[in-house]
Amino acid sequence: MSIESVSGREKGGTIERIERFLSAFLLKKRSVRFPYILSLTVVAVAFALRLLIAPVTAGLQYITFFPAVALSAIL
């Protein structure tokens, strides 16, 4: 077993596939509305997770929204 196969960098490895996907995803030309739709989708998923974790009165108002806003800012 070589060092390349241990690190996951062999030809067609998982890390390379993820890097290719992310670079294609981030560099692809899209409409002006795409970032807004993506952000709203991420926040909606965060809201759904928030409701699944605990009821509204549990006091965890923003626990899932911090990662959602950070992810929206990156994408």
- Structural domain spans, the chain: 1-28, 31-75
Q: Read off the pLDDT of residues 16-36 as tens digits, 9 standing for 90 and up.
A: 888 888 777 777 777 888 888
Residue matched to tokens 């929206």: 72
> What share of the chain has pLDDT > 70, as a percent?
81
Q: Looking at the whole model, is its pTM more than 0.75?
A: no
DSSP the chain: --HHHHHT-STT-HHHHHHHHHHHHHHS---TTHHHHHHHHHHHHHHHHHHHHS-GGGS-TTTTHHHHHHHHHH-
Give the per-residue pLDDT at 1.
46
